[in-house]
Amino acid sequence: MGAIISGLGISLPDNVLTNADLERMVDTSDEWILTRTGIRERRILPKDSPLLASDLGAAAALQALQRAGVRADQVGAILVGGIVPDMQFPSTACIIQEKIGAKNAFAFDITAACAGFVYGVNMASLLIDSGQCDHVLVIGAETLSRAVDWTDRNTCILFGDAGAAAVLSRGPKDRGVIRSLLRSDGGAADILKLGNLAHGTACINMDGKHVFKLAVSEVSRVVVDTLALEGLTAANLDLFVAHQANVRILNAIGEKLGLPEEKVMVNVQRYGNTSSASVPLALFEAEAEGRLKPGMLVGLAAVGGGMAWGCNLVRW
Ligand code: ACO
């Protein structure tokens, strides 16, 4: 039996922050942001909002369950990626478990920054393949606006808040997650990091050029390597849904893989970088746009702080 993605859900703050809004906050311009990143706007929780990462994650999870036709009490495990957890502990995953009533699940957070969803899909497929779980929720729950220095133009233009979720379920053998490959390099920890929020004033800090280069080279490499393990090449991909950090990164990876533009999903212009929520959010929109058809070979990929990156191949 395969581990199929049986339902997707999203939860976005209503509040839109445009590049024009950012022009009033820091020394930047719509033109600079658009040409360097492709981002036009992002969703941001208002400063005084009581909502936490678990609220965005729980709302996305409930929608994903409803679309999968799976009850919360049928979920065997909840895996949550997120850079700003509600608390140091308990995990955001346990808080979401309680909020959605998934009383039969075990739950834990995955600390792989923007790669959290791709790491989670790998773990979820193993839990299903091994027979331990019938349904697993993989969630990206991100309130990045609370970890951004809103006076730092290098970083504050990049990020957005979002929750997005996928239910993985036991399904037919010829569908679902075919193969995953995950990689990390702790030696590159310094190029993208967020100090411990409990210690006070930590903010996301990055060496943008270094991150850019590693993202392009390593994501293309891991996608090629994952495909090769199945005797496939990038030419076999019907759709490529990668972490939405920057349109230039997506274009460069697409070019390295030799993918035509229409096979590379891009929605970073509307949401910015939503870290671990970005791949399921892009998948959700690809499905809504009718771009995901049964039998298609879909490549998921992401890279984030750690550095941590990886790829999942999914037969839709
Ligand atoms: N507005 C105007 N000017 C800016 C801004 C801004 N918002 N931000 C930086 N600058 C200035 C800098 O101060 C610098 O000026 P200087 O040359 O006088 O010192 C200059 O612009 C830098 O310009 P470039 O070097 O040409 O910028 P670059 O093309 O490298 O783009 C960017 C910067 C967008 C950050 C790019 O490096 C990038 O996208 N890197 C990847 C980072 C990323 O995506 N991180 C997200 C997390 S990682 C992940 O999710 C994979």
| C-alpha 33 to ligand 1 mean position (Å) | 9
Distance CA 279, CA 270 (A): 14
Which of 36, 157, 307 has the most ligand 1 atoms within 8 A of CB, as the residue to mutate?
Answer: 36
Q: Which of 243, 246, 311, 312 is catalytic?
A: 243
Instruction: Specify whether 114 is catalytic.
Output: yes
What amino acid occupies position 236? N
| C-alpha 210 to ligand 1 mean position (Å) | 10
User: What's the whole-model pTM score?
Assistant: 0.96
**Exposure of 77 in the CB half-sphere (CA atoms within 13 A):** 21
| Percent of the chain whose pLDDT exceeds 90 | 96
| C-alpha 285 to ligand 1 mean position (Å) | 27
Instruction: Specify whether 236 is catalytic.
Output: no
| Residue 12 confidence (pLDDT) above 80 | yes
Q: Atom 10 (ligand 1): residue with closest C-alpha?
A: 154
**CB within 6 Å of ligand 1 — which residues?**
28, 32-33, 36-37, 114, 153-154, 157-158, 192, 206, 208-209, 211-212, 215, 243, 245-246, 273, 303-304
Q: What confidence score (pLDDT) does residue 305 get?
A: 96
Q: 96: how many CB neighbours lie within 10 A of its CB?
A: 32
Instruction: Specify whether 273 is catalytic.
Output: yes
> What digits encode the pLDDT tens for the residues 66-112?
999 999 999 999 999 999 999 999 999 999 999 999 999 999 999 99
> What digits encode the pLDDT tens for the residues 143-193?
999 999 999 999 999 999 999 999 999 999 889 999 999 999 999 999 999
Q: What confidence score (pLDDT) does residue 217 get?
A: 98
Domains of the chain: 2-171 (3.40.47.10), 176-315 (3.40.47.10)
Closest residue by Cα to residue 127 from 101, 102, 105:
105
Give the ligand 1 atom nearest the CA of 249: 39
Q: What confidence score (pLDDT) does residue 202 get?
A: 81
**Residue 93 backbone dihedrals phi, psi, to 5 degrees:** -60, -45
| Mean pLDDT to the nearest integer, 199-225 | 93
Residue 57's pLDDT band (cuts 50, 70, 90):
very high
Distance CA 54, CA 139 (A): 10
Residue 301's pLDDT band (cuts 50, 70, 90):
very high
| C-alpha 111 to ligand 1 mean position (Å) | 25
Q: What confidence score (pLDDT) does residue 94 get?
A: 98
| C-alpha 30 to ligand 1 mean position (Å) | 13
> What digits encode the pLDDT tens for the residues 236-292?
999 999 999 999 999 999 999 999 999 999 999 999 999 999 999 999 999 999 999
